[in-house]
Each structure stands twice: as C-alpha cells, then as structure tokens.
Structure 1
C-alpha cells in the first residue's frame, strides 16, 4: 500500500483549487474500486477553534457547510452514467475541536491519528490548503505528514500562480493601533508626562506607525473590538493583581509554616480559550499567580504545576479562565461552566479528575 492506495484522507479547507482536489481524490479511489480494491475517501476538516471559543459557532457552521458541499460533489463525481454508484466509501469529519492545534506538527499528528483509526494510508493535499488559516505553512505541514507512515502527495491540479507579499498593506486601523501602542510604551518607559516626553513620544510613535504599521499586524484589527478589549483589560488587571496578592499571602504562610504544607502535582488543563493571544494571556496569568505555573502548552491544553491543594481548587473553579474570556469575548463569553463541570482538568498522566472545589460542592457532599 502507498501512493496507489485507494484508502485516502483529504484535509479540507476553503481554496480556489479544493473542488479539483476533491475530484482527483475521488477519481483515484474510484479507479481502485473498479480494480476490486477497498476504496474510501475521508474528507477531514482540522478545527482551528475550541468548543467554547467566542467564534466557535460561526467557524463550526462554515466547516459544516464546506463538508456538506463536499458530500454533494462526491455524489456528483461518483455516479455512473447508468445511475449505479461505485463502491467508494465517503466520510466527512471535523477533528481537533477539543485540542490546541498551533504548529504544522500538531495538525499533521491529528490527521495521522485519524488516518490510523480509520485504516487510511494515503493523503491527498490540496496545493492551496492552509491548516493554520491565513498562516502559510503548507510545506512544513506536508513535511510533518511525511514523517508518519502515510503516503503524502499534492493533488496535481492547475492553479493560478501567486506571489506572496513580504509585507501586508498598511491600513488606518493598523496605523492607529501601532501609534497608540508605541506612544503608551514610550510614556511608560519615560515615567513622566512632561511636555518634552509627550512631544518626543508622539513623534516617535508617529514615525513607528509610518514605518511599521504594515508589518505590525497580519490583518487589519477592528478599532471598535480592540477598544472594547482594552477597556475590559483595564478591569481585568486589578482582578489579576488581587488574585496575585491573595496567592502571595498563601505562599508566604506556607513558607513560614514549620511543616511546609505543600502538595505539588501536575495538571492538564483544557482551557476554553483559543488563539495565540488569549492562550498566552491565560497561561501567563496562571504563572503570575503564585502556587501555579504554566509549564507547557500542547495539543491537549496547558500543562500546569500546582503547589498546593488550594491552588488546584482555584484553578478548578475557573476564575482566571472566566476573566480572560471576559477580556477577549465579553460578558457572555465569561458565562461558561467551570473546568470541573466541563471535566476539562485532570491529573497529568492519569485519568483521575480534580476534586470539586469546596465552594462548588452541594450540601452534603
């Protein structure tokens, strides 16, 4: 089995060449079926969202719509003239919605795992498929796939030649945000609001916006959404400082206690946030709070070292997680079940779930 196999996996993503890629994969499977081989084509959409992400509903609906279109195309392409159908098994699926998929290796591992579960041994990749959305990582993605036992090939379809621009187009929103961020940073470093600092900071920020606004952001940010997030961030910071203060008092008590009552454990935490900035904010907030330390971020979430049972209870209660979701998704985004209620926090390397924090237990528990 290999490049001629009729059991095929096709990663799914919107592109100008995807329709032709679907047709090619189905023709290859159909040829195998006609030769008496077991034939199947699985169209799999690697999710770039989490189930509780603020944009999950829209993105999930778009993925479902694309897979439905694939099913219609398959019915059209596999139908004989005499209205008899081929023996090609066609399946569609969304994978990775419960995991953090960041790097090309993460996407490749998820698809390779799906292929093993479904006895698929050949991958046909759309030449314009981008597993990371707008991030151009197809070549690295294919390289990661070839490290598995799968036979990997790009669909031999025609496509329009394009040239990637080294920098993005500057827009007013990029300029305003670059100016504001640079100005605020300059004044924070200067530590003064004297006229000289205000003038030199404004000039520096203006030059930075003119020179770097086209490379500071991948896409044009929404000024309205960003402004709202900044306001919510100003509310979040005092809350985080308060949580850090409480944790510091607890850790100071433990250090001064003669028995040093610590109980360190590693926990796997599948936080309900998605995207580099929200995940980074949550991981850093956990690290800044004494008693917990974000050790790593992998496909299954955040790996967190907890020093005491109280630290684990706070983590399981989900206060920091809800606060971070409030910053990025608003008040409705903060109204979610706790990690314990979602069963999204567990002992690293085991199946044991964390105990319910005292404040979440019902009477009699």
Structure 2
C-alpha cells in the first residue's frame, strides 16, 4: 500500500511537470520539453524532469512552442522575436561607437593640454617634487583697523629609499597701524628608510623668527629614530624620537639649549578633493630636569577647487606653547588660525 502511494505521487509530479512544460525548439532541429524557470541575458534556465536544471544559451534556441502561457515563456518569446539589426544598422552602430571613443580620446587630450597651459611656470629646481605656494589676507576697517597677511611654501619628495619634506610660512599683522604679529619659520626634514622595515632615521632642522617672543631667532637641529605606523594611500601616520639643541639669539642673550624631540605626523585623504594633515612635537629642555619645554602643533584642511589649475583652499591652525617667557611677552601660548589660497605645481 505504501509503495503504491509513492508511485502515485511520483506519477502525479511527472504529469504536473509535463503539463507545465514548454516545448523548446533548438537551432539544430532538436526539441526539448522542460519548464522555463528564468530568462537571463546569458541564456534560459529550464527544469527538465530527467536531466534536471539546464542553462541553454539564447542563440541556441530557435523558438518556444507555448503551451502554458507562463510569464517566463512569454518573455523568452519576446526576446527571441526582437528585431535583429540589419548589416547597415550594425555598421552604423559600430561607426557611432568608434566616434564616441574618438571623442573621449580627444577630450582627454584637450584636458591634458589645458592642464599644461594653466601651469605657466616651469621649475627645473625640485622638478620631481610636489610643491605648493599659499597666500592669504584678511582685515577690517571701522572702529579699529586690522590687517593680516600669511603665506608659505611647501615641497616634498619620496621614493623607496628616502623622504624629503620642506615646510615654511610667515605671518604678519597690524592693528590700528601698529605691528602686532611678525613671525616666520622654515623646516626641513630628511628620512632615511630601511628596506622591508617600518623603521627609519630622520634628521630635521627648523628656523624660527618672531619679534614678539623671548627670542628673535632660533635654530633647532635634531636627529633620531622614527617608526611608520601606517602608510597607505588614504592614511599615513609616523612617530619619531630624537635629540638635538636649540640656539636662541637676537634680542635676548644668546642661549644654547639641549633638547629631546618627541613627534607625531599624519595625513588623511578623505577623498579626491579633501585632505587633512597634522603634526605635533613635544620638545623638553633636558638641561634643567625638564622644567622648561615647548610644544608645536599644526592642523590643516586642504580643499581642491580645480584639478586643472591646481588651486585649492586651505584652513589651518598653528599653536606653539613655550614656557620661556619675558616681562614684555608673558604669554606662553600662541595660537594662529588662518585661511589661504594654495597653488600646487
């Protein structure tokens, strides 16, 4: 009795499958009776009662003989009966494709030529370096008169063996006709890389000029060991520790200060048009049990305006904290915030 029930169920399934099957005529003259499950650009997926699931390329199907009127079978009929382009139409389509490719190539060549024309200066000095200049100005007229000017020059170069980084800037300001800001700095860093290692040796020299600090001029070279924590196209981060000295001279007595340098530098390319860079250095005076120290931090946000002209906007913060003060300048903290127009070349 149980065997009879199983045979009856199998026969029922075969009958149901046969009733819902479509007869598909192939291009070689063969016919196939199967249920059309799905029509895809690559072919037709069918379910055969004996062969199981099959994928038949569309170009191998002559036509289906509809018996059930299923949606998939109707879709296959529409796909097969779609008018095919004539040889003249195929030639025209090919001609249009070639014309589009030629127009794309011409556009790319024009963009490259325009980019070259927008770079009027050719610098053979530091030719392989990434360079930029920046300039910013702001002021107001009213109950008080203020004017501020800032500018700078940056350059960097990197290959598998070494890395160079030059940074410089100046800040000048007046309030009611009196100078209240006159500062400049230049810093050059050289890294020597080790093969297959994140460690590197660095050497750095920084010059500072400031008429409103306890010093007028300061030269601070240092050297030490660094470690590249991250180094990807999107995110870079490195740290370094070294030793050196600062030599202060100008309006105050000449002073030689041995120092230790602890630094952290990083950059984040958020997307093609936005980049954030930052750095911080903690520099204690080791001649007097670390009683005196200075710290220099910066944060810049650069926004590309036009890749053809190389113009960008930059907003930045520059902060220096120095425990060395004078009666005429008792402030230890000096914070500058600025905006400027940048030209990359």
Which TM-score band applies after superposition, normalised by the shorter structure? under 0.3
Name the larger-Rg structure. Answer: 2
> Higher strand fraction: Structure 1 or Structure 2?
2
TM-score, normalised to structure 1's length?
A: 0.20
> Higher helix fraction: Structure 1 or Structure 2?
1
